[in-house]
Each structure stands twice: as structure tokens, then as C-alpha cells.
Amino acid sequence: MQTLATLTADEAMTAALARMLAASARPGQTFLLDGPVGAGKTHFARAFIQARQGDAAEDVPSPTFTLVQTYDDPMGTEIWHADLYRLGDVSELDELGLDEALTDAITLIEWPERIEATPPGALWLRLAPDADPGMRQISLHGAPEDWPDLARAVERAQFIHAAGWGEAQVRLLAGDASARRYFRLIHGGDSAVLMDDPPPGSMASYLAMTGWLRDRGFAAPEVFAADPAHGLLLMDDLGDDLVARVLEREPALARPIYQRITDFLVDLHRHQPPLGILALDGPELARQVGMFAEWYPQAVGVDPAPSLAIAAQIEALHARLCADLPPVLSLRDFHAENLIWRGEAVLGLLDFQDAVATHPAYDLVSALQDARRDVDPAIEAAMIDRYIAATGLDADRFRAAYALLGAQRNLRIMGIFTRLALHVGKPRYLAFMPRVWSYVQRNLAHPALAPLAVIVNDLPAPTPDITDRIAARCQTPAR
């Protein structure tokens, strides 16, 4: 058992820590609360349990006389709160069913030294008085492999406490394929989003792009507080109406939504891209598509050597089809999962820290050839026409460039998904491969891409048999 984190905390900070740990706690985890009478053990447990319950939070009395109190949270998780101060005999724990709860519930135990054996994988929280009577010393101890996020959770709690959001409920939001994590903070009628982007992350880029976008009237979230050195940022909550969710529940809105997306890109591309961002030009596109040759051919059981020529073809075709237009700003991961639908208001923007300067077709491809969902080909064609009409670009050259960038982007995505499965332990992305491969084939059908098609079309498609074989080789999923 190692000391994983230490901090000095008042009552508010202690509760903020409890709420942060509650946000990511899962069944089978045990929290052992150790300290003298009045150290704040029940205060921690109460904040933890009420945070799990959210709007349905109930009173959390000390279980000193009942020994155990149980609670349910809205996710269906059972929470056990035990106070063993008055435990007469260890055998009483068997009658209470505490041993069974340790494997199926989230368990908080005060006075844990009265248990004969420490539950495996438990986290010890030791609370001790401080020289300042309004403060306490908290140290957290456990096995690093059981609590890999513990030190980071403490940093998150300290950050939101300092930012004035320590009393907020914390909800873990869906993450992405990167190391970034997002949490929603809810306090009273207000909400904010906490971005956790561990160093060396891209916090500086995110802040720079936020300022650039907001200065030009685009709806990047307002920043409330930031700690770039530690990769923590508190920002405006633009809501839950991701374009992806709106399309799922109201498919009839697809055309007007994609019209709005296309018009947004037309507007964005009127501005000179900021200085200092990566140039996603021919050589860089070639370098990035190398992810495909590195991972996919071997995963599907073919010689990777022929695929090594893909990068050179991408670079040569870019020089021939794309180099005539000045680069524009590309938000890069520009798709329905990173856009907020706000009715008549401008689209809300998420996840733009990796913005680049590249050909105007790049983000249009990103939005219309979405790895996670089908876009009606008729809508795709109409939006390409709409963009060409609004910008006055040469239609034939733009469509050829669109096909090239679509092929490059989707081949790279195929490589990324393969790597995520085989190297990172995230096989869920394999389910998207057939759709992404269909985009590759659609783009390669353009006559200008014939030299590239010769290479790629010799490779096996990601059939269910192939994706099952890749999944079988998947590493243990990352925790």
C-alpha cells in the first residue's frame, strides 16, 4: 500500500473531494475512513453518498447505532455506509452482509481497523487534525494499480474548490479516444464543464483557439477558470444537445442541420487561420496516413510492404489537386459528436484544440463522412454543392480534393481504430470500421485517385470475420 495523495482541507474541500471521488466510483470499490472522533469521516461519507444520489439525495445520518445504512443511486448502484465504532463482535459483520456488499456495492466504512482483514483493493482515507482547528490533514493510501486516477481526482477537486465550484455535484461525461476526460458540475441552477487534459495535453492550444473563435463570434465555450500547467479547465456548459443526439431523435432535421454545418464552414473559412498552428499540408497528410500502413495490414494478415506506398501517393496527389488553394482553419475533429445544436443560435463548438491550417474540404469531409453514423449520400452531395456555390470554387477541383482528403482521413481512422484495439485495449471502435471502409471506397472511385486505388483495393475489407479476429487479439481494456 502506498501513499497516493495528501492534502490539507477544510470542510468544504473535504466534501469537494468526496464528490469528485463519487463521480467515478464503481461497484466493488471500498473506501476506508480512518481518523479520530470529529475528524470528518461522516462528513466525507455524507457528501459522497448525496453526490451519488444527485437530485434524489436523502438525509445521510451517521450509522453509529445501526452499524450499517444502505442507499441506492439513480444508476442502480447500491451504496453501503458502515460505522463500526460500536461493533461488539466481528461476527456481527457476517449477519449484516457486509462481506457480500464489498464485491457488489460501493462501500464506505468508518473505523475500519475493527475489521479482521482489510478488503482487497480498498482505498484508505486517513483524516487527522491540523494545527489550524478549521483544517484537517487527509492522506490517501492504496495500491496504484487499483486507484490509477486517485492523485488526478484530488487535483480536480482542489481546482474546482479554488474556482468556487466545490459545492457542485460532479457527473462524469463520456470521453473520447484521447486521454481527456470531461465532468459536468451542477450547483443550484448553474452548470459548468470541467476538462481534465493531463499534461502534456493540449490545454494551451485549447485556450488559444477558444480566444480566437470567441473573438470572431463563434460559440466556443466561455472559460471560467484554467490551470494550464496541470491541464485543468472550467468552462461554460453548452448543454446536452449534441448534433449526434438530435439526429438520432429527429432524423428529419438532418438536411437543415447539415446545411447549418456547411454554412458555418463557409463563414469560418472567410477568416485567415491563426498563426502558429500545424500546417496539414501534403507532407503532413502523408505522415499521418502512415498510421494505416503501420497497423491495419498486419492486423488483417497481409504483407504491409505495399501499403507503405500510400503515403507517397497522398503527398503527390495533394500537390496536384489541393495546393492551388490557400489553407483555411480546420477544427479537425469536426463531426456530430463535437457540435452542439442550439436551435436558431450558432452551433456550439467542442474539441477544437487540435485545429490545423489545411484545404477547405477537410472539415466538410469530417462532418459528412462521419465514422459513427451514416449520412445520406444525397445530403452529402447537396452539401458539397452548397459549399461550392457559396465559395465560388472550381467544382471539379474541389470534388477531387474532397475525395483525396476523404480517402486520407478515413485510411488514417482505420489505422487509429486498429491501434486502439490492439495497443490500447479499446475494441469498441472496430464496429465503425465497415462504415469507414465504405467511405474509403467511395472516395477512391474518383478518377483522379486511380493511382491510390490500385494500392488500397488490394487490401482485405474489414469484414465481421476480420474485425472479430482483431478483437480477439485486443489487449485488456485500459481502466
pLDDT along the chain (479 residues), means of 10: 95 97 95 94 95 82 81 91 81 74 93 88 96 96 96 97 96 76 93 94 93 97 96 95 96 97 98 96 98 97 97 98 96 95 94 95 98 97 98 98 98 97 93 98 98 97 96 69
Spatial distance between the Cα atoms of 455 and 310, rounded to a whole number of angstroms: 7
Residues 261 and 366 in one domain: yes
Nearest to 58 by CA among 194, 69, 67: 69
Residues 194 and 307 in one domain: no
Domain boundary among 236, 265, 282: 236
| Whole-number pLDDT of residue 362 | 98
Classify residue 386 by its DSSP letter: H
Spatial distance between the Cα atoms of 285 and 401, rounded to a whole number of angstroms: 13
Residues 328 and 467 in one domain: yes
Residue 360 belongs to domain spanning: 243-472
Q: What's the total number of domains in the chain?
A: 3
Residues 161 and 285 in one domain: no
Residues 232 and 279 in one domain: no
Residues 230 and 331 in one domain: no
Within-domain flag for 440: yes
| Whole-number pLDDT of residue 93 | 67
Within-domain flag for 94: yes
Within-domain flag for 116: yes
Is residue 87 helix, strand or coil? coil
Within-domain flag for 119: yes
Residues 331 and 443 in one domain: yes
Residues 259 and 342 in one domain: yes
Q: What is the pTM of this model?
A: 0.87
Residues 359 and 391 in one domain: yes
Residues 186 and 329 in one domain: no
Return the HEC string of 411-445.
HHHHHHHHHHHHHHCCHHHHHHHHHHHHHHHHHHC
Domain containing 131 — which CATH number? 3.40.50.300
Residues 253 and 144 in one domain: no
Domain boundary among 236, 258, 275: 236
Residues 272 and 398 in one domain: yes
Within-domain flag for 176: no
Query: Quick one: CA dihedral 142, 147, 148, 153, positive or negative?
Result: negative
Within-domain flag for 377: yes
Domain boundary among 119, 140, 166: 166
